[in-house]
DNA sequence: CCTGGGATTTTCT
DNA sequence: GAAAATCCCAGGA
């Protein structure tokens, strides 16, 4: 299968995941999500993310404490936290911050690089397109053969191209619903909404 | 442009 | 038993 003209993809290293959640969230824009299934490789460029930060963030699953479901948010950075939402869709998050500090970055939209059968302009949809489900919950993106993040030396997103906005679907979160913790690439047609 | 409801099932109260 | 980090479709302005 012919891939697009693109310089070599290099997997993101452990150190990168150790930076502050908000810096990391912005720096993930323009990076690539890679999913390997047997010999098949599916690749998408990250164009939209949201940050969920700390125990006080009422929009975060971690705000109600550490449970069987949310314990990964309290784990070490670089793991995948995948959960089922509304009984129907999976959502993929990257765990961030030190162990015991709950935070994660939700991957909300991808620009397709390989050919997908389904759309990737939403957190539930991109998981369908890349066949990501809870079987991959806890996958270590630094070492996993099935799921990881990568960068290419050419693709750089300028600061002026990064938009901050309110997060989506969290109207119950009190004052935290106003936090501008959603980040996306200006004018990118694959952003889920508001572009 | 916007609002509202239904699908579907796990998780927590 | 209610809520949920979604999506799609219908209907109204």
**Proximity of residue A135 CB to strand B below 7 A:** no
Q: Are A92 and A126 in contact (CB under 8 A)?
A: yes
Q: Which nucleotide has the shortest C1'-to-CA distance from A92?
A: C5
Q: Would you say residue A194 has pLDDT above 90?
A: no
Nearest to A103 by CA among A68, A86, A79: A79
Q: Which nucleotide is nearest to A127 (CA to C1')?
A: C6
Place of tokens 């270590």: A140
Q: In chain A, what are the domains? A: 10-185 (3.10.300.10)
Position A5 scores a pLDDT of 52
* Mean of the per-residue pLDDT values of chain A: 95
**Please, which pLDDT band fits residue A195 given cuts at 50, 70 and 90?**
confident
Q: Which nucleotide is nearest to A51 (CA to C1')?
A: C5
End-to-end CA distance of chain A: 31
A3 band by pLDDT with thresholds 50, 70 and 90: low
CA dihedral of residues A152, A157, A163, A165 (deg, nearest 10): 20
Distance A133 CA to C12 C1' (A): 37
Whose tokens are 């993809």? That residue is A9
């Amino acid at each position: 299968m012919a891939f697009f003209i693109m310089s070599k993809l290099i997997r993101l290293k452990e150190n990168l995941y150790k930076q502050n959640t908000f810096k990391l969230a912005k720096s993930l824009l323009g990076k690539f999500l890679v999913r390997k299934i047997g010999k098949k490789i599916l690749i998408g460029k990250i164009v939209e993310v949201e940050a969920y930060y700390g125990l006080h963030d009422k929009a975060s699953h971690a705000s109600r404490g550490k449970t069987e479901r949310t314990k990964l948010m309290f784990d070490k950075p670089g793991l995948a936290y995948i959960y089922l939402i509304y009984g129907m869709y999976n959502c993929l998050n990257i765990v961030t911050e030190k162990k015991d500090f709950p935070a994660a970055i939700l991957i909300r939209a991808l620009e397709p690089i390989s050919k997908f059968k389904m759309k990737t302009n939403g957190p539930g949809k991109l998981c369908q397109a890349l066949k990501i489900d809870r079987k991959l919950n806890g996958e270590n993106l630094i070492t996993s053969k099935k799921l990881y993040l990568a960068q290419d030396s050419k693709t750089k997103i300028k600061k002026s191209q990064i938009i901050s906005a309110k997060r989506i679907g969290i109207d119950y979160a009190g004052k935290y619903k106003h936090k501008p913790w959603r980040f996306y690439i200006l004018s990118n047609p694959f952003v889920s909404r508001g572009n």
